[in-house]
Amino acid sequence: MFAMVADDELSEADGGLSDADWSVWRDVMAMTSQLARELDRRLQSDAGISHADYSVLLVLQRAPEHQLRTGELAELLAWEKSRVSHQVARMEARGLLERAECPTDGRGTWVSPTDAGRRTLLAAARNHTATIRELFFDALGDDQRLAMGDAAVRVLDRLSPAACELADEKGMMSRTRVRASA
């Protein structure tokens, strides 16, 4: 059974967040989960791939020489290495990715898109970009877009500075450059 918790006990346990803070938090969480679900649904419908497939292909496309080690891919996607390994194996079986041993490190493996993977990404990109514009950017004014971008950069820098540094090291678009270029 569930133990009953009094409102005053919950208020003490909430870390001092106000009702307004909790409201913002619930709205952000609902927005991100519903947006992710709809983007995935439309990618499946329009291009026959999942949002995870698209994310992997996009990160690899933006990487130098269109390849990354599995650990780097995991860091940039903010995924566990085991999730990346399973995702890569599924995509490799479908002919979207290929793996190759790293010549300078016998333990390292490079992951890169195949020609079919690049074609799949390009075919999905136009509709996916239009969907992002429709569902997200068209709902925001310029000031809201800039504020949202700034907030995202601040939070992501706290969560994953290593991913930001790796993106910079690889010459990829980093979260800090997003803010600077806005």
Q: What is the pLDDT of residue 121?
A: 97
Least confident of 36-45, 58-67, 69-78, 155-164: 155-164
User: Can you give the pLDDT at residue 39?
Assistant: 95
* Structural domains of the chain ordered from first start: 48-124 (1.10.10.10)
User: What are 8-46's pLDDT values in tens digits?
Assistant: 655 556 678 899 999 999 999 999 999 999 999 999 999
The per-residue pLDDT for 181 is 43
Average pLDDT, the chain: 86
Looking at the predicted structure, is the pLDDT value of residue 176 above 50?
no
Which residues, including other chains, have CB under 8 Å from residue 91's CB and lie 6 or more apart? 53, 56, 57, 97, 117
Residue 110's DSSP bridge partners are 69, 100
| Residue 119, pLDDT above cutoff 70 | yes
Edge to edge, the sheet with strand 105-113 lists: 68-69, 105-113, 97-102
Q: Which helix (H) or strand (E) holds 106?
A: strand 105-113
Residue 136 CA to residue 98 CA, distance in Å, equals 33
pLDDT of res. 157: 81
Q: What is the pLDDT of residue 3?
A: 59
Q: What is the pLDDT of residues 134-168, one digit of tens each?
A: 999 999 999 999 999 889 888 888 887 777 777 77
